[in-house]
Amino acid sequence: MVIVMKAKTPRANIDKLIKKLEDMGLGVHETIGQNYSILGLIGDTSKLNKEQIEVYDDVEKVMRVQHPFKLASRLFHPEDSVITVGNTKVGGDNLTIIAGPCSVETEEQMIEVARDVKRAGATLLRGGAYKPRSSPYSFQGLGEDGLKLLKKASEETGLPIVTEAICLDTIDVVAKYSDVIQIGARNMQNFALLKKAGKLGKPVLLKRGLSATIEEWLMAAEYIMSEGNEDVILCERGIRTFETYTRNTLDLSAIPVIKEISHLPIIVDPSHATGKWKMVRPLSKGAVAVGADGLMIEVHNNPECALCDGAQSLKPSKFKELMDELKIV
């Protein structure tokens, strides 16, 4: 950690702060510049909050040198993490394709879509049973009934299940039926849910929050990992910007950043990012070319009747075409 003291801070005040830091067991190295003094801290600063230092009137600013995450950091875990999910692996040289409808609606729909996506090359099956909806008047998902239908479709096709847990009250039942527990964008900083997800012994797919920095996202992963669960799969799904033509702005530059500073696998969800099925194909190809470990794509056998987010769902035939194109990339 580096502390920049305000210009013209009296010597005595600097010495007092140095004393305080030393009392905390830290080494302090001072650089006296023309206008500013800079204190470089030596030792374990991971428990020290920037705010505890910024509070001093004489402090101009405080800068972290080290990332605040440890378990998620490549610095302490140089090899890529590869996560086993049922009969498939996520990360490393594997290209994971998670496909399925936004919401589980009927048995017929689930079985049909599951078969279609399996045939086209998907490696995991998705489908929402508990849906976080911005309106209390919108369809909120079938709940455990939906999980049962997902399970049936999974047994039919052999595809492991990814489905979202939205609250502490229902995460256990989600864990019972699913192979991967998804934490959605809106819950990325629902810390109680993250801790719980860290204790259930199943891999977790962690979506990036709409306005989460990459550092905050990795700190959310750290919450899960610090409970003993190292199987975290990151999922970029668009960030909120001023541009309104697309629902959100897919941040593909996050992929090489994550690859550099973390060892966790990262997949991309172009369906939610753009909200438009026509954009799923080009952005899927882009995500793979940039180096994503996989994709999460909404597929619905009848998007026009989908109970939510139909506009961003591919029909199975379009999904098949995309999968064929990806084999070439």
How does DSSP classify residue 168? T
Site residues for a copy of itself, 121-180, by CB under 8 A, read: 132-138, 166-170
Selected binder of a copy of itself within 279, 295, 297, 314 (CB under 8 A): 279
- What 118-121 contacts at long range (C-beta under 8 Å, 24+ apart), as own/partner pairs, is 118/157, 118/158, 118/159, 119/320, 120/316, 120/319, 120/320, 120/323, 121/97, 121/323, 121/327
Residues 21-40 that bind a copy of itself (CB under 8 A): 29, 31-36, 38, 40
79 binds a copy of itself (CB under 8 A): no
x-marked contacts with a copy of itself along 50-69 as a string, rule CB under 8 A: -xx-xxx---x--x-xx-x-
- Which positions from 234 through 263 interact with a copy of itself, judged by CB under 8 A? 239-246, 249-257, 260
Asked if 94 interacts with a copy of itself (CB under 8 A), we say no
Q: How many angstroms from the chain centroid is the CA of residue 53? A: 30
The least distance separating a copy of itself from the CB of residue 316, rounded to whole angstroms, comes to 15
User: Quick one: 85 or 283, whose CB is closer to a copy of itself?
Assistant: 283
Tokens of 200: 């259930």
Q: Does residue 199 touch a copy of itself according to CB under 8 A? A: no
Determine the Cα–Cα distance for residues 8 and 110; give it in Å rounded to an integer: 69
Residue 181 within binding range of a copy of itself, rule CB under 8 A? no
Q: Toward a copy of itself, which CB reaches closer, 118 or 276?
A: 276
CA neighbor of 178 nearest in space, from 192, 160, 193, 190? 160
Distance between CA atoms of residues 214 and 202, nearest Å? 23
Q: Is 214 in the site for a copy of itself (CB under 8 A)?
A: yes
Region near a copy of itself per CB under 8 A, out of 111-119, 172-180, 277-285, 316-324:
277-285
Compute the distance between CA of residue 6 and CA of residue 8 in angstroms, rounded to an integer: 6
> Minimum Å distance from CB 242 to a copy of itself?
5
Looking up tokens 């799904």, which residue turns up? Answer: 237
- Closest CA relative to residue 104, chosen from 82, 126, 89, 87: 126
Total number of residues binding a copy of itself (CB under 8 A)? 103
Q: Residue 285 CB, nearest distance to a copy of itself (Å)?
A: 4
Cβ proximity to a copy of itself: between 87 and 211 the closer is 211
Q: With binding defined as CB under 8 A, does residue 41 bind a copy of itself?
A: yes
Contact predicate 258/214, CB 8 Å: yes
324 counts as binding a copy of itself under rule CB under 8 A: no
What is the CB neighbour count within 10 angstroms for residue 67?
18
Please provide the size of the chain in residues: 329
Of the candidate residues 9, 13, 94, 189, the single one contacting a copy of itself (CB under 8 A): 189
- Smallest gap from residue 232 Cβ to a copy of itself (A): 13
Nearer to a copy of itself, 179 or 298 (CB): 298
Nearest to 183 by CA among 201, 167, 160: 167
Check binding of 283 to a copy of itself (CB under 8 A): yes
Residue 303 engages a copy of itself in binding (rule: CB under 8 A): yes
Position 184, amino acid:
G
